[in-house]
Chain A
Amino acid sequence: MDVEASVREVVGRQGRDATRLLQILIALQDRLDWLPPAAITAVAAELGLPRARVEGVAGFYSLLHGTPAGRYRIRFSDNITDRMQGSEALRKRLCHLLWTECGKTSEDGLVSIGTTSCTGMGDQGPALLVNGRAVTRLDAARIERIAELVRGGVPLDDWPAEFFRVEEGIRRRGPLLGTPFEPGSALRAAIARGRTGWGEEMARSGLRGRGGAGFATATKWQACRDAPGADKVVVCNADEGEPGTFKDRVLLAHEAERVFEGMTLAAWATGARTGFVYLRGEYRFVLDALQAVLARRRAVGLLGMGILGEAGFDFDIEIHLGAGAYVCGEETALLESLEGRRGTPRIRPPFPVTHGYLGRPTVVNNVETLALATWIALEGGAAFAATGTPRSTGTKLLSVSGDCARPGVYEFPFGVTVAEVLEECGALDTLAVQVGGASGVTLAGHEFGRRIAFEDVPSAGAFMVFDGRRDPFEIAHAFVEFFAHESCGFCTPCRIGTTLLKNDLDKLARGVGGKVDLANIEWINRLLRNASHCGLGSSAPNPVEDGLAKFRPAWERRLRSLEFEPAFDLDAALGPARRMTGRSDPGAHLDREESSQ
């Protein structure tokens, strides 16, 4: 296809709007399989942007390809839970069947196979993305079939539908998931209270943000409402990238009315007229359904001008896709991405409530937070606050995955103990639980009496279970790899420190660590925690610190000596010269025995 014609058409469809740059690049890649330099040049010309800026944005997002990629672009979800379900062997098998190497594009340009961070299918993994579409429940048979379909050049639309089926995954329903919801009902209740009354009801509820930080939602809304500027914005953060979290996937797929109504409730409280959903690229499978819900809500007067006949209550919602960048879950990075830029977190203050999207007062709320607002509107803040604990009101959706009989989404009142969750999901012989994802906390057995609550164990929703067969070092190692892959690279400690940490853990994994490496790791952790620009860097040490504190023997048994060990294999480092010279004499080798000094 002619590159320039494609660019003209795609840019035209996106309204020649530079804030939609990421959306343009995603749409272009759908057509061209990758983003060739000529396409970058053409996009820049069409939008009147510097080419370097377009190249900078295209290079930031890991689902966009700046080098030739296959017509089938397959990315295996690489969370620890996928690995536990055998994803690495399945990936190798597919590479073998398709005669290609992981991380490369086959020579005929047919397929490229690689990995990507957790795709949010922890309850039905191992999973992969093919051209952005999620395939779940991989097994040997499915991999064989995928290889045949790829080799046969079968269009994705003709692949077996069950490959793309994402099951509902709800295991425990509470007031949010268990109560039928009539679209518009919450809005009517909130409008009846008036904007101020509705804000007060939210304050009574004590609702705190479900993205993990736990900021009081009513306070955020009030601050946005009070901020100068007429063009306020509500953003739904659906960039659920925390490994092992998939509760927003369930809400978007099955409670979209509540999510959009929650956004509209936020607009009623703040006076916002513009809404965005920032949907992680991995959840593209819900996009069409979400658009349909938006259309329906517009048709019945729940979006648009004069919502529910209320003069001046104008609000509409637009969906933007992400393209593989965990850091965009950080609200200011998300806003940068929404503006069509690299997803680099901003300096705060100022905060988004005063200077957010395009400098306008903006509230950014998690999907679950917004959905919960409907409950508050319908039942009242006091009723909501009666559930949970005094400081953590309401219920919490937990995405349970890993070693348990019944993985899925569970709605529990805040304050539930880890042991109760383990009991209900059918976990046996549990060694550790990772609560809150890679950036969360690793709990050992003696802590299973602790409670899921902001005041005890806060969680953005992930609950990954590891039983006695698992190696705690490998858990931390997987998360450290994740952070190194997802660091945006803006600040020194995170850009370099996450890779240093990964290199050190790789060294331990190879069984050639020395005690000095543990000291190095602690020092890098300190830099990450203290000096990082945002939460990604400052929480990157969490799995390592928890691992070292709670499962230290698993680390120490990987040490080769109590002294210094080189990070690389000296004998292997002589390999290229041995090959070039054909030598194999004793002088052409370096033994290891000497090295422990």
Chain B
Amino acid sequence: MEVDITGARILFDTPINLPILGQLRITETMVISWLVMLVVTGLCIWLTRNLKTENISKRQAVAEMLVEMANKFVVGNMGEKFRYFVPFVAALFATSMVSNLIGLVGLRSPTADLSTEMAWAITVFVLITAQKIKTNGLGGYLKDFTTPIPLLTPFNILGEVATPIGMAFRHFGNILSGLVINTLLYAALAVASSALLGLIPGAVGAVLSQIPILDVGIPAILSVYFDWVSGVLQAYIFCMLTVMFIANAAEG
């Protein structure tokens, strides 16, 4: 039996072809991202339907709790002056988490595509750099690379670039490893169930061995860690790093 683990499928090619970017291809990553956005936005609309100031519904309690948590997370870690970052961090967390967990329903996680994490990490990197320039001025920002001695400049640049790359690969690696292990497990269990049911003699065994009966239930156990824990944890870590890096950048 052959197991093939590939990147996101390319659904169709458009005729648009730009010099550096190459041909515009609508990929699985994009489409499922849009689905994730729909899910997140739909959830927001559903949660905030019919808000009241007193005698609130359970749904509203959840909405309030989410808002409070986001506020506490951002303001608690970054300070009151960064309150305007709340929607960004919330969007990052929600998108990341739903993207990770959407793998559970059999869709391919957009976070199992490095481009997704790179997009987020670069966005965060731009915010960090903007914050540094805002705090120290452009001169101060550039001068910071030559500290403590000018000789270390290349290493400082490397360290700076390592931030988004590290963030992106950490997240991507975790999700991809989950995907790979799940795929391998499904394949292995299919082989195992085929071998097991093949022991039944005659036509019954031949038919039953085609059904990967062991794939039902067993992968869910591993999925608890690789999809649920890892998915939520990586979203949390990514947001925590974002918040920390930007807050640090503001301190100069």
- Whether A and B are associated in the same complex: the answer reads no
